[in-house]
Structures are given as structure tokens and as C-alpha cells.
Amino acid sequence: MNSYRIDELGAALRYVDLPGKRPVLFLHGLGSASSFAFPEIAEHPRLRHHRSILIDLLGFGYSDRPAAFSYSMHHQADIVARLLDHLKVEGAALVGHSMGGAIAVLVANARPSRVGRLVLAEANLDPEPGIVSGIVTQWQEEEYVESRHAVFVAQMRSRGFADYAQTVSTAAPVAMHRSAVDLIAHREPTFRNLLYTLPIPRDFLFGEENLADPDVKRLPQEGIPVTIVRGAGHDMMADNPDDFADAIADAIR
């Protein structure tokens, strides 16, 4: 595990850096951690020759949890962009799942020389509640941090999402709430509008269970190819890791 120090926060961003050729960076979704969600993907036979960088966003996974941090998408993206500068990567493929996809769009916009391609897995594009963010934002920050975070973890575990519940349990409650609030907030331009204007190759992945999403047809009309991961829902890297890894490998080939 590697650390990138953020002096003004007195905190460290932590990431796994696996040696290889072309850099491929992974950004996780709300409540998850790249160090948990993506190791199997990075070690897939079609991806293991790449330099895979698995980033735990501040507040999640092994990264620090500074109380003074906003946990906004723009501030998370700024920290990731600074890490790319620190690592001196160029033309990287940036893979973002869910919330991580929204952050990936912001990073690509901020560092066009660092990011050469986006692969987004059911990324948040519009200011509307998702399955997790819709639950978390039912409460004000203080109530969520003091009592509802533990309730949410218990709910996820009782619904059969034991692995996700475990990663959420290690996340800072304040990071969960502030991230969820900002993720679904109205903003101009939207993540969607930024994605449409990026002058780099962009691919979008859907789990087969979510084929009713209108973006399955809408995104190709905007020049963004769509790939369906068979037998998978939103958590496609766990539902079908082989096809998920294949979809990434095909996109960055």
C-alpha cells in the first residue's frame, strides 16, 4: 500500500500500485474501496500486464478520514488529479464505478494530458438519488454520523450485501454523507454534459440487469460505446468479474 500526503489536510491518500505497462487507474463507488473492489480485476489475465493503480478515495478504504475535508466530488477529483501529477502518469485509462465514474469525469476534464481514456461503469451522470445516495441523504449529516450510519450498514447486511456492508462499515460516516449529498446535487455543467464534451475515447458499461436504463441507447448516440456485462447488476465487478475485466480490456485495447 502506497501513500500520497496531502499537507493542508494532514492526511494521506492510499493506493495500490501494481507494476506494468500502460497505467490503468481505478476509482470506486460510494461506500466501497478500490483496494477491495478491484484487485481481482487488476490481476485478470487480460489486464495484469498493465500498471494498475487502485485508489481509495479520502474517507474510504485505507485512506485517511480528515474531518475538515468537504468530500465533494470536485475536491476528491482534485486530490486524484494531484496524485496523477505526483506519479507523472500520461495517457492513463481511468476506470470509474458509480460515484467513482463521476469523479473520473472531473479528473479527465482537469488533467487532459494525464487521462487518455475513460471507462465508466454505471457512473452517476445526473443530479438524482441513486440506491445508496437516496438512502443516506434521507437524514441530516449530524443524525447520519451519530446513529444512522450503523443502521445503514446493518440494513445492507440484512439484505444480503455482506461484502458491501463490510466496506461501508470501514468508511467514515461523515464521508459517506457528504459524498452522497454532493454526488446528487444540482451542478452546471452536469457530469453528463462534461462527459459529452471530453475529447477522448469514452466507454460505458452496464450490468445486464439494468438494460432498461435509457442511457443504453442514449450514450451511443453521443459517440460513447456501451458494453453489457452479462449476468450482472450494478456491482458488476463482483457479479461477473471475468466479463467486467474483459469489457475493460476491450475498451483500452
User: Which amino acid makes up residue 11?
Assistant: A
Task: Measure the CA–CA gap between 100 and 73, rounded to whole angstroms.
Answer: 9
Are residues 117 and 251 in contact, defined by beta-carbon separation less than 8 angstroms?
Answer: yes
- Is residue 10 within 8 Å of residue 66, measured between CB atoms? yes
Could you tell me what percent of the chain has a pLDDT over 90? 98
Q: Where are the domains positioned within the chain? A: 2-130+182-252
CB 96, CB 77: distance < 8 Å: no
Region 2-130+182-252: CATH code: 3.40.50.1820
Q: Percentage of residues in the chain with pLDDT exceeding 70?
A: 100
Q: Which residue has the cell 459517506?
A: 176
DSSP SS3 for 139: coil
- Whole-angstrom Cα distance, residue 25 to residue 79? 14
**Residues forming beta bridges with residue 240, ordered by sequence position:** none
Give, in order, the Cα–Cα distances in Å from 3 to each of 6, 62, 217: 10, 10, 40
Q: Which pLDDT tens digit goes with each residue over 34-49?
A: 999 999 999 999 999 9
Q: Work out the pLDDT band at 23, boundaries 50, 70, 90.
A: very high
User: Mind listing the pLDDT tens digit for each residue in 53-86?
Assistant: 999 999 999 999 999 999 999 999 999 999 999 9
Nearest to 78, CA basis, from 24, 114, 126, 42 = 114
3-state secondary structure of 26: strand
Residue 253 has pLDDT above 90, yes or no: no
Residue located via cell numbers 475529447: 199
Mean pLDDT of the residues in the chain? 97
pLDDT in tens, 173-214: 999 999 999 999 999 999 999 999 999 999 999 999 999 999
